[in-house]
Structure 1
Amino acid sequence: MSSVSVREFSYNPSAMFNRVEQGETIEVTRHGKVIAVLLPGSAGLGRYSPLVAKGLIRLKATTTADLDRMPSYDVPADVSPLDLLLEARAEDDR
């Protein structure tokens, strides 16, 4: 994941969008604080986009190919995905 300042972004936003279109994720910062994250528009992100938008998770993958390799879980509507993940991690530690 790359990081650019608001100033750098404002100089050439089309170049930033081109990088994102190529699969790169870019954090936009102001005074060192992340204020936006540009994510590639991809079907691989569909499941995670709402969580990223709410700030509940941060993706560290840099390409859509990395995101496509992330596991996918079938989660019933009445179950918390976080609870399932923590349960799976607990089972792995046993």
Structure 2
Amino acid sequence: MSTVSVREFSYNPSAMFARVERGESIEVTRHGSVIAVLLPGSGTLGRYASLVAKGVIRLKATTTSDLDRLPRYDVPPDVSPLDLLLADREADDR
């Protein structure tokens, strides 16, 4: 995940959004603190955008090809994605 300052973002937001459209994730910082995360809206990263936005997960610096190797889960609307993930991890530990 790339990091840019608010100032850098404000100089050319179109270029930042173009980078996101190509699959890059960008953290926007102010005085060293992350104030926003720009994630692709579809594809591999799009699956995790809502969890990142809620603060449930935090993505590590990685490439989209790394994320393509992550398991996929069919999550019913009434089930927490985190609960499914934790149950899967618990099953792997047995």
TM-score range relative to shorter protein: 0.7 to 0.9
Normalization by structure 1: what TM-score? Answer: 0.78
Unaligned runs of 5+ in 2: none
RMSD between aligned residues: 2.1
Partner residue, 2:49 = 49
Partner residue, 2:82 = 82
Unaligned runs of 5+ in 1: none
Question: How many pairs does the alignment contain?
Answer: 94
* Further displaced range: 78-87 or 28-37: 78-87
CA 1:13–1:79: 2 relative to 1, 3 Å: closer
Partner residue, 2:2 = 2
- Matching of residue 17 in structure 1 with residue 17 in structure 2: yes
Normalization by structure 2: what TM-score? Answer: 0.78
Deviations 1:28-85 (A, max 9, x none): 0011111111112323234322222222222235443333332111223333222221
The percentage of counterpart residues that share the same residue type is: 81
Q: In structure 1, what is the Cα distance between the partners aligned to 2:42 and 2:78?
A: 26
